[in-house]
């Protein structure tokens, strides 16, 4: 199965997979894709883990979600924050929202651009910029967006067995959210 064939488009409430119906994850997709009128919340209903990319504009109510924005939707290094949202914020649902055309895919192909940017824009020394890239790039590079979100969902489910975790993908060209088939 190709990666894009794993996507489930949501153009009506009936398109939402049964395991997520009547959950905050369903509400999130309904707000964004279906223009459901925004409800009022006094506390977060879910944790939204998403990429730091600036091309995403989401439609959801105030106070609806804790939001962690990290490169590639990689929450491995934000796990204390995930635990906080669950333990203190009492969220029971996590929406993992990757997106297509992610800069963390094939990150090593951007090595020179990254290093030159740190030198020219931030004023770093060349050697320190190279060391910085080589130290952190292996932690953040992902193979492809869909497979990574699926593996991250599996990892989080194992770590937090009572929490519902939904793998999702945002397509930048149509501004819509898709469920990912598992």
pLDDT reported for residue 1: 55
Token digits of residue 179: 């469920």
Low-confidence ranges of the chain (pLDDT < 70): 1-4
CA 83 from centre of chain: 16
SS3 content of the chain, % helix, strand, coil (to 5): 45, 20, 40
Across 32-122, the runs of DSSP E, i.e. the strands, are: 46-50, 65-69, 93-99
From the list 40, 49, 22, the residue with the least C-alpha distance to 166 is 49
pLDDT digits over 120-167, tens only?
999 999 999 999 999 999 989 988 999 999 999 999 999 999 999 999
pLDDT reported for residue 102: 84
Q: List, in order of start, the domains of the chain with CATH numbers.
A: 4-105+143-180 (3.40.1050.10), 106-141 (no CATH)
pTM across the whole model: 0.93
Strands 65-69 and 46-50: parallel
């Amino acid at each position: 199965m190709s990666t894009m064939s794993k996507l489930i488009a949501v153009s009506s409430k009936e398109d939402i997979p049964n395991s997520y119906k009547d959950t905050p994850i369903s509400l999130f997709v309904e707000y964004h894709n279906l223009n459901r009128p925004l409800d009022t919340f006094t506390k977060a209903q879910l944790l939204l883990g998403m990429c730091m990319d600036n091309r995403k504009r989401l439609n959801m109510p105030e106070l609806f979600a804790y939001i962690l924005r990290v490169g590639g939707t990689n929450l491995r290094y934000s796990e204390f924050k995930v635990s906080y949202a669950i333990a203190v914020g009492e969220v029971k649902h996590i929406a993992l929202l990757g997106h297509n055309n992610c800069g963390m895919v094939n990150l090593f192909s951007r090595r020179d651009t990254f290093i030159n940017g740190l030198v020219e824009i931030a004023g770093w020394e060349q050697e320190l910029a190279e060391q910085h890239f080589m130290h952190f790039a292996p932690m953040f590079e992902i193979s492809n967006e869909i497979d990574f979100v699926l593996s991250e969902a599996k990892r989080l489910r194992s770590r937090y067995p009572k929490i519902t975790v939904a793998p999702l993908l945002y397509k930048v060209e149509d501004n819509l959210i898709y469920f990912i088939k598992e």
